[in-house]
A and B are shown apart, each in its own frame.
Chain A
């Protein structure tokens, strides 16, 4: 449901069913709402059967990359003799995204159950949940829920009487966007600076503490118990667009809409209806100008591209952007696109871990050039300079942070060029002084 708003009839409410229902937070409350049935069922299957069910369901990573979850689990070695780890990425920090926060705040046991099932499937006895440092309330709620899960035997040395051991540790981050990148997260968990690692080796070969590791997003893991209970076929049947995009997705709609919130849709749901119907459309007297559909790291879409775009992985890509994390930033006709793109560039410049030259220099340089344009001191060749910089920042670094900075810049210049030119030609009053 579109928490904090009531559920909209066009939503497909699965993960968000109990948002706003504080009774669902306790172990007993969760059991009364059908909780821990999936874990019990999974423990009666073989780990491979669990992995195959998730494979067949078509579930894909909800953190941003959209990688098939069951396939990722199947990369974990068998009988390696090493400790295996599940790491839950609860570092939600992609601007525009605020769905994992609500999952943890309202349905902490959904996440614990999903983590336990995944741990069982990949042969992990320890699951670390890495929660961003700023999420103080979700952390408190998760701490209580984990303690209750231990007290009720859903975690610990004998999970629900199965003889299986699954330990769960909540690990608090300390403020760094890059720790949402899975290898940066693993370094942070090991007590290091959150610098991303070069891949390969991939986490399934050598992940956290050098051991085979699977990293999954909160929303991905919370979806797993439903797949076990209702079956892979049920999940696979939740399709409105491309058949490769199955299940429901929480879309965090924010920015210039009447009813910002998390809306749960069947993948393939029309983006226009999502914005104008579910989220209530634009503010009074305003029209849609642009949408960043997948968190701030994806290309900007203009209103025409939104018009006929189904909200799923393939269709958004065909419309020039990406579903990403499902953090949808909506901008109306009052928006100064140059200023907003500058603000995004500043974000990436601030969050660059500074390992790679292209990113360290590129994000800062991009920000400075945009500042110059906003101050009315831009040169006609600045747009080409920005595009050249962006090209050098794409596909050339250890992680995709610099690509993420380039995405709004390139798409912004392509789709809203006249706004940049207005600043450069001084037709528009400078938005910044003292640069």
Chain B
């Protein structure tokens, strides 16, 4: 992109997004080295897309469009292709979420054992109130998830990368305390 066009894009972003900060490159220094390491494990660069997106989410909390553009750039893909992949998978966030992201399994086996009560209690206790919403203090986002693969331990939930089994409404207060 020529410098002139880049400026135009910058201005446009400034107008529509208000205070949108310019994209800080992600794949530099140690993160670039991590990516180079990934390249050795697959016969194509494209195969590093899911791992690269995990790196972005780990460092930035979510995957913005400029970040998708950067991933496309480092892997030799197009931004549209990367966006198509990002949006296929439920675990990649395409918008900012609360400091702690909670996923509650409500699929049939857990549903039979009271998962919907657990979900309602979590929405209430976190202050999120609505599925996919972030609590007013920015602390939590609560989402429903399809089968977490721990059906013998209803209800399993995930808080960020922590997998917690056998969650019942009465345990929620104690669990949330662990996450500031």
Contact = CB atoms under 8 A, between A and B. Distances in A.
- Interface residue range, chain B: 35 or more
B84 interface: yes
B161 A193 contact: no
Interface string A117-136: 00000000000000011111
Interface stretch (B17-25, B118-126, B152-160): B152-160
A327 B151 contact: yes
B50 A329 contact: no
B91 A133 contact: yes
Given A134-B158, A174-B90, A350-B146, A254 B152 contact: yes
B107 A347 contact: yes
B48 interface: yes
A171 B154 CA distance: 27
B47 interface: yes
Nearest to A254: B151
A404 B146 CA distance: 15
B50 A134 contact: no
A83 B108 CA distance: 41
B151 A252 contact: yes
Contacts of A307: none
B62 interface: no
Contacts of B90: 174-176
Given A134-B91, A331-B112, A97 B151 contact: yes
A192 B50 CA distance: 9
Given A134-B91, A176-B90, A96 B109 contact: yes
Contact of A262 (B51, B77, B152): B152
B43 A343 contact: no
A169 B77 CA distance: 23
Interface string A125-153: 00000001111110000000000000000
Given A101-B149, A133-B89, A194-B88, A329 B46 contact: no
B174 interface: no
A255 B109 contact: yes
B50 A254 contact: no
A191 B44 CA distance: 9
A253 to B, nearest CB: 7
Contacts of A209: 43-44, 47
Contact of B108 (A167, A191, A347, A350): A347
Contact of A260 (B46, B89, B148, B151): B151
A192 B113 CA distance: 36
Contact of B149 (A134, A331, A347): A134
B111 interface: yes
B167 interface: no
A176 B88 contact: yes
Contacts of B44: 190-191, 209
Nearest to B46: A191
A329 B150 contact: no
A280 to B, nearest CB: 12
Interface in B129-154: 145-154
Nearest to B144: A350
A255 to B, nearest CB: 5
A209 B161 CA distance: 30
B108 A96 contact: yes
Given A189-B47, A192-B85, A95 B147 contact: yes
A93 B89 contact: no
Given A83-B43, A136-B161, A252 B88 contact: no
Contacts of A329: 108-109, 112, 151
A191 B147 contact: no
Interface in A327-355: 327, 329, 331, 335, 340, 343-344, 347, 350-351, 353
A374 B69 CA distance: 45
A319 interface: no
Nearest to B50: A174
A185 B18 CA distance: 41
Contact of A351 (B84, B111, B146): B146
30 contacts: A95-B108, A95-B146, A95-B151, A98-B152, A101-B150, A134-B103, A134-B158, A135-B149, A137-B163, A172-B51, A173-B89, A174-B91, A175-B91, A189-B47, A191-B75, A191-B77, A192-B49, A209-B44, A252-B152, A254-B109, A254-B152, A260-B151, A260-B154, A262-B152, A327-B109, A327-B151, A335-B112, A343-B108, A347-B108, A347-B146
Interface of A: 4, 83, 92-98, 100-101, 132-137, 167, 169, 171-177, 188-194, 209, 252-256, 260-262, 296, 327, 329, 331, 335, 340, 343-344, 347, 350-351, 353
Given A83-B43, A93-B149, A134-B103, 16 more contacts: A95-B107, A98-B149, A98-B150, A100-B149, A135-B149, A171-B50, A175-B90, A175-B92, A191-B44, A191-B85, A192-B46, A192-B49, A254-B154, A260-B154, A340-B111, A347-B107
